[in-house]
Amino acid sequence: MTWAQFKESFFEKYFPQCVRDRKVTEFEQLKQGTMTVAEYETKFTELARYAPHMVDTEYKKARKFEGGLNVAILDRINVLKLPTFVGVLDRALMAESNIAAVKQSETPTTEWHGKRQGFKFKKGKHNPANKKQNTGSTTSPSQGSGFIPPCPECGKRHKGVCYRISGACYRCGKVGHMVKDCPSAPQASSKAAPSAAASTVAPKPN
């Protein structure tokens, strides 16, 4: 058995024709996309084995590889009309390197411009806003010198300890009695006045 016959028998058994057809289609539609030129070349060489009729000359192989390159790289080399695959690959690698160098040289200018804009933003907008916010918080009308917050126990505004907690009289502030028994209550003085008046009236003569 010759080597060609062996390969044919091997492919028929372990590599069906339908799979080979899919590889041919994949090679026909191959594009660089997000791959680097080196990665694209590796994929190109791998799939080219399944479609030898498309790359059986150096010119056809060069044009097929060139046609799958990204536009940014293709624009730099297609005008050269390089006749060999190796020439196209070499120029594509050089173009990719030049594009990366240009992007890298533009990056510091962009970062510096962004930092400068950020500095202006902080000096012109951000800090005055904070200053106004802080100034407004110190002059809030709810925190004036005469402001007394409501008591959480009784709901009234007063100073010192709440009488509800201390158990003091709500009228005189002393402990030991309730409001109804407060000696300073007006009701108690009004009731005591008639009694005192009656005791001081002289008895009528018989």
> Among all chains, which residue has been given the structure tokens 């536009």?
71
**pLDDT-based confidence at 108, cuts 50/70/90?**
low
Cβ atoms of 89 and 64 within 8 Å: the answer is: no
Torsional sign, CA 25, 31, 33, 35: positive
Question: Containing domain of residue 68, as a range?
Answer: 3-105
The average confidence (pLDDT) of the chain is 75
Cβ atoms of 177 and 169 within 8 Å: the answer is: yes
For residue 112, the one-letter residue type is W
Nearest to 49 by CA among 7, 105, 5, 94: 7
- Tell me which of 194 and 151 has the higher pLDDT: 151
Is residue 114 a part of any domain in this protein? no
Is residue 144 a part of any domain in this protein? no
Q: Domains in the chain: how many in total? A: 1
Dist. CA 161–CA 151, nearest whole Å: 9
Model pLDDT, residue 137: 46
Is residue 22 a part of any domain in this protein? yes
In 49-169, where does DSSP find H-type helix? 58-67, 71-77, 85-121, 127-138, 163-166
Is residue 51 a part of any domain in this protein? yes
Is this prediction's pTM over 0.75? no
Is residue 135 a part of any domain in this protein? no
Model pLDDT, residue 174: 76
Q: H-helix or E-strand containing 7? A: helix 3-14
Give the pLDDT confidence of 43-65 residue by residue, as tens digits: 999 999 889 999 999 999 999 99
CB burial string 144-165: b at 16+ within 10 A, e below: eeeeeeebeeeeeeeeeeebee
Residues 6+ apart with CB under 8 A from 203: none
Percent of the chain with pLDDT over 90: 35
Give the pLDDT confidence of 143-162 residue by residue, as tens digits: 455 677 777 777 777 777 77
Is residue 13 a part of any domain in this protein? yes
